[in-house]
Amino acid sequence: MYSTGDYRHIWDNCLQLIKGRIPPQTYSTWFQPIKAISITDGSLFLQVPNKFFYDWLDSHYKETIQGSLREVTGNGLSIKYTVLLTDTPSEEKEKIIETIPENYNRSINLKSAQSGMIERGTRINENYVFENFVEGNSNQFARAASIAVANNPGKTPFNPLVIYGGTGLGKTHLLQAIGNNALSTGHANKVVYVSSDTFTLDFIAAIQKNKTTDFSRYYRSVDMLLLDDIQFFQNKEQTQEQFFHIFNDLYQHNRQIVLTTDRPPMELKGLQDRLLSRFQSSLTVDIQPPDLETRIAILNKKASSDGLDLPYDVIEFIAQNVKSNVRELEGFLIRMLAYSSLMQVDIELDLARKVFRETGAVEKKGIVSIEDIQKIVGTSYSINLDSLVGKSRTKEVAEARMVAMYLAREHTNLSLKTIGIYFGGRDHSTVVHACKCVEERKTDNEQFSARVISIQEKVRNAI
């Protein structure tokens, strides 16, 4: 047992270990500002300048910190972080400490780690709620379906609900928001959120301990099962078999099932046909990379929630240059804030550009946004965006619109439905028709074909 007076000594020993394992500049930037403040209830509390600082530590040096603590204490302590509030009178600052919620802290929890299978897969992050999920054209349908399921689990046609999309687009946020909403409103009493990897590890542990019956009983008893990243079930035959029977039992008893994956169910390989059949018969909704307006809204929301006053030109610069996913947007913001706080410089456009250059952040090659395509086509046809996405049916506008839809289909990974949304809310059949017309006209009309090829080259140059 450690006394409350040991915290500085323990942390100093941890720092000595860390200092020998990382570059000097990294140590001075990220570890010298950390302050050990207490040992309370079996946890070493470390104070950090702000939540962005915590995010960076947790994503880049979590194991470094935890490993050093294990060496120093022999697993006798866990780590929790605190943030010193900075919007209070100076004489009160040392008294007011905001502890990051336990669900936000991903440090070692010995009790949980030693409890065996299942329990570790039940936690839902309370920060993931619908209220702080920024809605845009790229995720509107997925959010609406998720809210419907959360408000009436197991009693809508959306069972199971499958949400698919690339990394960092908000699938896990929506998944856990469903659980948080259902629990807070009392629509479900027993909700389990679990990743496919954790489900598999728990199943293996159950086999080793001869507790597969307990494992099955546990998952069949839930009101709502939220399973993340089902693509990792691929080629795991016994896990698939176990999940198939759990899935059937929950479905037959009108218990809600929500799944996420990184691609449409029909594209998943290495899964049993009977599982694929059930996934494909579900409501499947996609989340696409956010458009410019949504990226700006996400950054504004993040800045507001963390008490930051960011100039609009900085937000716009980030949104225009970081296009792939929400996680990379937030990651760039963290890097910029860290640079600002540690180098004691204001957050301005020049700083954003400097951080962008130094980090090589995030702009992906080989991907062009639909906004870029609309702008290029509009310029080529001398048509403004309002006309391109509006209701005009004049020959020139209609042709430009079809070409833009065709190029969006060719050069983005957006679904037909999402492309239609970008063109005034048109449905996917309109996009299909536009693409077909462009293909036919390219074959029959050399002048039109040359024009499309010319515009296509401009789109490629914009990548």
CA-based nearest residue to 228, from 331, 127, 123, 112? 123
Q: Where are the domains of the chain?
A: 4-109, 120-287, 292-359, 370-462
Record the tokens describing residue 224, joined without a space.
Answer: 């709502």
Instruction: Report pLDDT for 306.
Output: 67
Mean pLDDT of the chain: 80
**SS3 sequence of the chain:** CCCHHHHHHHHHHHHHHHHCCCCHHHHHHHCCCCEEEEEECCEEEEEECCHHHHHHHHHHCHHHHHHHHHHHHCCCCEEEEEEECCCCCHHHCCCCEEECCCCCCCCCCHHHHCCCCCHHHCCCCCCCCHHHCCCCCCCHHHHHHHHHHHHCCCCCCCCCEEEEECCCCCHHHHHHHHHHHHHHHCCCCCEEEEEHHHHHHHHHHHHHCCCHHHHHHHHHCCCEEEEECHHHHCCCHHHHHHHHHHHHHHHHCCCEEEEEECCCHHHCCCCCHHHHHHHHCCEEEEECCCCHHHHHHHHHHHHHHCCCCCCHHHHHHHHHHCCCCHHHHHHHHHHHHHHHHHHCCCCCHHHHHHHHHHHCCCCCCCCCCHHHHHHHHHHHHCCCHHHHHCCCCCHHHHHHHHHHHHHHHHHCCCCHHHHHHHCCCCCHHHHHHHHHHHHHHHHHCHHHHHHHHHHHHHHHHHC
- Domain 292-359 falls in which CATH fold? Helicase, Ruva Protein; domain 3 (1.10.8)
Residue 254 near residue 159, CB atoms below 8 Å: yes
Into which CATH architecture does domain 4-109 fall? 2-Layer Sandwich (3.30)
For residue 79, which phi and psi values (nearest 5 degrees)? -115, 135
Instruction: Report pLDDT for 448.
Output: 92
Q: What is this structure's pTM? A: 0.55
Into which CATH architecture does domain 370-462 fall? Orthogonal Bundle (1.10)
Residue 402 vs residues 103, 396, 409, 440, 458: alpha-carbon distances, Å? 48, 10, 11, 12, 17
CATH for 120-287 (3.40.50.150, 3.40.50.300, 3.30.70.2740, 3.40.228.10): 3.40.50.300
Instruction: Report pLDDT for 144.
Output: 92
Instruction: Report pLDDT for 272.
Output: 79
Task: Please report, in tens digits, the pLDDT of each residue of the chain (463 residues total).
Answer: 555 557 888 899 899 888 888 777 678 778 888 888 888 877 888 888 777 678 778 777 888 888 888 888 876 678 888 875 544 444 434 433 344 443 333 332 333 333 334 443 446 877 788 988 888 888 888 999 999 999 989 888 888 899 988 888 889 899 999 999 998 888 988 898 988 888 888 888 888 888 889 998 999 999 999 998 888 888 888 888 888 899 989 988 999 999 998 888 777 777 878 888 877 777 888 888 888 888 888 888 877 776 677 888 888 888 877 776 787 787 788 777 777 766 777 788 888 888 787 765 444 444 578 888 999 999 999 999 889 998 888 999 999 999 999 998 888 867 788 888 889 888 888 999 999 999 999 888 888 998 998 898 888 777 5
